[in-house]
Homo-oligomer: A and B are copies of this chain.
Amino acid sequence: MIEAPAREQILDAAEKRARMAGYHGFSFRDVAEDVGIKSSSVHYHFPTKGDLCEALARRYTVRAADRLGDPRILAPGEGLERVTALFRDAVLVEDRMCLCGMFGAQRDALPAQVATAVSAFFQMILDYLDVAPRASRGSQNPAALLARLEGALILARTLNSPSLFEDALSETAA
């Protein structure tokens, strides 16, 4: 069993915690204990909390973009499906909030470097949906879909009802 590099383990632990409790809801010590090292070692890899959370948001964005792939080569409607799948996994598989949805809600309380990285995530998704072929003319505007996905995540998790996530994505009442 090959150990993941410490830097990645730190990011994994920090992402998990940030997606549960938000920027101010976890500490260097929390992350260090999760990984099994000392908090000063976390500071070695990420000098400040802003650095750590900026890296978090960037990695989150890159991973999402990788999974989404090139939007120009998709069948009509598939872009929408792929973005939806990202958020469906967050609630059904990971049972966590979207990292950037969480940070975005707290944007007034974030270091600028983190807020910028979070903006980049949203812009990436919006651009992707804008370029991806639509299923029908005028269907699904990017901002509307993304907003609904972020909100559905909050709703389904708060009311403890994963099925509410799907409800919130359908046009007609449940």
Residues of A bordering B, CB below 8 Å: 20-25, 96-97, 100-102, 104-109, 115, 118-119, 122-123, 130, 138-144, 146-152, 154-155, 157-160, 164, 167-174
Contacts and interface: CB of A to CB of B under 8 A. Distances in A.
A75 to B, nearest CB: 19
A150 B141 CA distance: 16
A141 B167 contact: yes
Given A22-B24, A108-B21, A109-B22, A150 B143 contact: no
A171 B154 contact: no
A106 B130 CA distance: 30
Q: Determine which residue in A22, A122, A139 has the highest number of CB atoms from chain B within 10 A of its CB, and name it.
A: A22
A103 to B, nearest CB: 8
A119 to B, nearest CB: 6
Given A108-B20, A173-B141, A150 B155 contact: yes
Contacts of A147: 147-152, 154-155, 168
Contacts of A108: 20-21, 96
A132 B168 CA distance: 18
B154 A104 contact: yes
Contact of A170 (B100, B118, B144): B144
Contacts of A141: 167-168, 170-174
Nearest to A169: B144
